[in-house]
């Protein structure tokens, strides 16, 4: 059945993938006939709408699934059973009248309460006008009582007008009116509740709450699952996963960040306590380049979610500093008497190696169909295509969502599903690659420099000038991927 899915006008690239991930979580793909696993839903746009429009139609197997998706989502403003639509109020009336009674009457009966909301995109209309529009719906036989606070049924009259292009939304060529019954919508109150401003323990690269929830949704975090973040930092991504009921585990190379924080009530643990969430089942100090998992352990995490250390300000480090840098000529040996208090030096960790390690570990440690969700930096001039994203024989890339950080840099949230087992051949290839990275440490750093040097979260300012990306698309003035 087709539902009208109205999105918040934010993070445009993240909207459909979020719905599709949640569709998976709530079993929308379970009736698939053949063995081919689906990750995508059927979508349609209203006539003349741009893909960046907030209005989409999506085909979902049941109202229950539609409701579950909408209520758990972050970016779905409302999911509606559409009773009618048209280019004018006359057309809308004909359309609503021809919608089958057996679909309408159960929601109109005298025992129920209801509310009608008028929502106008592109222009502001007065309360008086709204009343007029509601009265105009008299052809719908509402028998129930009005309840504005807590109605059983929420009806929406949504008008999208032929507005200008400067209000931040893509231009709409034609007026369109929708009337429908709400089946669900995002609980955006989560975002102020979890906003970083309210977080006791913060770091410079803590993930903002909205994005952390989106990542947890891409990862299908839910009760009974184990979610791992190998670059846990202050734990902000795991906080979102724990909110959705997942068990969480995290590692970080920096002991001050992961263990000490800023005191007994200001550390990774307290970030969970603050929201009444269960503590991570494990936090450890470990290097993603040399993870301390026992060799037989595999397929233990349901999802791995992370924001790897890229860039100048929060660039990655890996074990073996002085030794790696000096090369094999004169290996550095830690003197025995210094061993206990010795602080191991680290070497810079190139982006290529970091991503290689992440994919290789994830391929081994994720359950089949488990998800790897992580950010990947891109230079916008690259005019990138999916081919530029990291690949691995065990993974299928199912979505890539761009967020523009500045005129030059973007970050892309990649969602990958483990579709193949981690075989001995793959493990052997990874082992050889690991040695190659180590032996050619300096070369890799230089090669990887381009990518890792350009991406710095410190530059996360939006500048619209010099927008080469939009060069092909003649100057859209709406906010597009910036929002």
Ligand X SMILES: C[S@@+](CC[C@H](N)C(=O)[O-])C[C@H]1O[C@@H](n2cnc3c(N)ncnc32)[C@H](O)[C@@H]1O
Site for other proteins, rule CB under 8 A: 223-226, 247, 249, 253, 255, 258-260, 269, 278-279, 281-287, 290-297, 299-300, 319-324, 331-334, 339-340, 342, 344-345
Q: Which does 236 bind (CB under 5 to 8 A by kind): ligand X, other proteins, none?
A: ligand X
Nearer Cβ to other proteins (127/297): 297
Can you tell me which of 15, 317, 371, 392 binds ligand X, judged by CB under 6 A? 317
If one asks whether residue 53 binds ligand X (CB under 6 A), the answer comes out as no
Q: Which does 234 bind (CB under 5 to 8 A by kind): ligand X, other proteins, none?
A: ligand X
Nearer Cβ to other proteins (44/342): 342
If one asks whether residue 207 binds ligand X (CB under 6 A), the answer comes out as yes
Can you tell me which of 254, 299, 436, 467 binds ligand X, judged by CB under 6 A? 254
Closest among 143, 170, 145, 138 to 46, alpha carbons compared: 170
**Do 400 and 384 touch, CB atoms closer than 8 A?**
no
User: Distance (Å, rounded) from C-alpha 431 to C-alpha 481?
Assistant: 39
Can you tell me which of 82, 257, 355, 412 binds ligand X, judged by CB under 6 A? 257
If one asks whether residue 348 binds ligand X (CB under 6 A), the answer comes out as no
Can you tell me which of 78, 151, 185, 203 binds ligand X, judged by CB under 6 A? 203
Can you tell me which of 349, 374, 376, 437 binds ligand X, judged by CB under 6 A? 349
Q: Kindly state the greatest CA–CA separation across the chain.
A: 88
Residues 277-296 that bind ligand X (CB under 6 A): 287-289
| DSSP code per residue over 413-443 | EEEEEE-S---HHHHHHHHHHHHHHHHTHHH
If one asks whether residue 309 binds ligand X (CB under 6 A), the answer comes out as yes
User: Distance (Å, rounded) from C-alpha 471 to C-alpha 11?
Assistant: 20
Can you tell me which of 53, 73, 236, 350 binds ligand X, judged by CB under 6 A? 236
Q: Which does 137 bind (CB under 5 to 8 A by kind): ligand X, other proteins, none?
A: none
- Give min distance, CB of 437 to other proteins, in A: 12
Beta strands in 60-197 (DSSP E): 76-86, 113-121, 145-146, 153-160, 176-184
For 370, residues 6+ apart whose C-beta sits below 8 A from its C-beta are 299, 301, 302, 303, 304, 417, 418
Q: Which does 207 bind (CB under 5 to 8 A by kind): ligand X, other proteins, none?
A: ligand X
- Give min distance, CB of 279 to ligand X, in A: 16
Phi, psi angle pair for 9, to nearest 5°: -85, 70
Can you tell me which of 233, 280, 370, 448 binds ligand X, judged by CB under 6 A? 233
If one asks whether residue 318 binds ligand X (CB under 6 A), the answer comes out as yes
Question: 102: which 2 tokens?
Answer: 């057996």
For 144, residues 6+ apart whose C-beta sits below 8 A from its C-beta are 108, 109, 110, 111, 112, 113, 114, 152, 153
Nearer Cβ to other proteins (343/465): 343
Closest among 191, 220, 222 to 208, alpha carbons compared: 191
- Give min distance, CB of 465 to ligand X, in A: 27
Phi, psi angle pair for 181, to nearest 5°: -105, 130
Q: Which does 175 bind (CB under 5 to 8 A by kind): ligand X, other proteins, none?
A: none
If one asks whether residue 253 binds ligand X (CB under 6 A), the answer comes out as yes
Q: Which does 328 bind (CB under 5 to 8 A by kind): other proteins, ligand X, none?
A: none
Nearer Cβ to other proteins (97/290): 290
User: Distance (Å, rounded) from C-alpha 85 to C-alpha 88?
Assistant: 9
Angle at 412 between CA 400 and CA 75, to 5 degrees: 70
- Give min distance, CB of 350 to ligand X, in A: 11
Q: Among 57-65, 174-182, 199-207, 473-481, which window interacts with ligand X (CB under 6 A)? A: 199-207
The dihedral formed by the CA atoms of 29, 78, 100 and 147, expressed in degrees to the nearest 10: 130
For 450, residues 6+ apart whose C-beta sits below 8 A from its C-beta are 379
Contact positions toward ligand X, by CB under 6 A? Answer: 203, 205-207, 230-231, 233-237, 251-254, 257, 287-289, 307, 309, 314, 316-318, 349
């Amino acid at each position: 059945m087709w539902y009208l899915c109205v999105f918040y006008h934010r993070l445009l690239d993240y909207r459909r993938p979020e719905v599709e991930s949640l569709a998976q979580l709530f079993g929308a793909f379970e009736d698939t006939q053949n063995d081919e696993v689906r990750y995508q839903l059927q979508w349609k746009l209203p006539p003349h709408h741009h893909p960046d429009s907030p209005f989409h139609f999506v085909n979902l197997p049941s109202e229950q699934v539609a409701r579950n998706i909408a209520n758990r989502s972050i970016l779905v403003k409302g999911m509606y059973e559409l009773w009618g639509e048209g280019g004018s109020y006359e057309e809308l009336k004909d359309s609503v009248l021809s919608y089958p009674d057996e679909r309408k009457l159960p929601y109109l009966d005298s025992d129920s309460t209801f509310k009608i909301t008028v929502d106008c995109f592109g222009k502001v209309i007065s309360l008086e006008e709204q009343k007029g529009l509601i009265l105009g719906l008299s052809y719908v036989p509402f028998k129930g009582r009005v309840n504005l606070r807590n109605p059983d049924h929420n009806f929406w009259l949504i008008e999208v007008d032929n507005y200008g292009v400067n209000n931040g939304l893509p231009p709409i060529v034609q007026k369109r009116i929708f009337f429908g019954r709400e089946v669900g919508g995002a609980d955006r109150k989560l975002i102020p509740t979890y906003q970083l401003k309210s977080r006791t323990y913060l770091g410079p690269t803590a993930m903002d709450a909205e994005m952390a929830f989106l990542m947890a949704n891409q990862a299908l975090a839910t009760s009974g699952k184990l979610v791992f973040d190998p670059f846990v930092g202050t734990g902000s991504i795991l906080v979102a996963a724990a909110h959705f009921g997942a068990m969480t585990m995290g590692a970080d190379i920096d002991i001050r960040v992961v263990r000490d924080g800023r005191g007994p009530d200001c550390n990774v643990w307290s970030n969970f306590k603050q929201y009444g969430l269960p503590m991570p089942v494990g936090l450890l100090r470990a290097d993603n380049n040399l993870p301390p998992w026992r060799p037989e352990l595999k397929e233990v995490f349901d999802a791995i979610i992370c924001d790897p250390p890229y860039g100048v300000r929060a660039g990655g480090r890996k074990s073996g500093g002085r030794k790696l840098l000096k090369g094999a000529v004169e290996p550095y040996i830690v003197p025995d008497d210094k061993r206990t208090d010795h602080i191991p030096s680290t070497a810079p960790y190139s982006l290529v190696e970091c991503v290689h390690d992440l994919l290789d570990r994830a391929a081994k440690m994720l359950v089949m169909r488990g998800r790897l969700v992580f950010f990947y930096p891109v230079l916008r001039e690259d005019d990138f295509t999916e081919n530029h994203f990291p690949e691995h024989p065990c993974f299928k890339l199912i979505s890539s969502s761009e967020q523009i950080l500045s005129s030059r840099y973007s970050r892309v949230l990649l969602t990958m599903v483990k579709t193949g087992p981690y075989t001995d051949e793959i493990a052997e290839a990874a082992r050889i690659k690991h040695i190659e990275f180590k032996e050619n440490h300096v070369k890799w750093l230089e090669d990887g420099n381009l990518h890792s040097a350009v991406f710095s979260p410190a530059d996360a300012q939006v500048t619209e000038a010099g927008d080469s990306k939009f060069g092909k698309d003649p100057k859209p003035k709406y906010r597009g991927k910036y929002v």
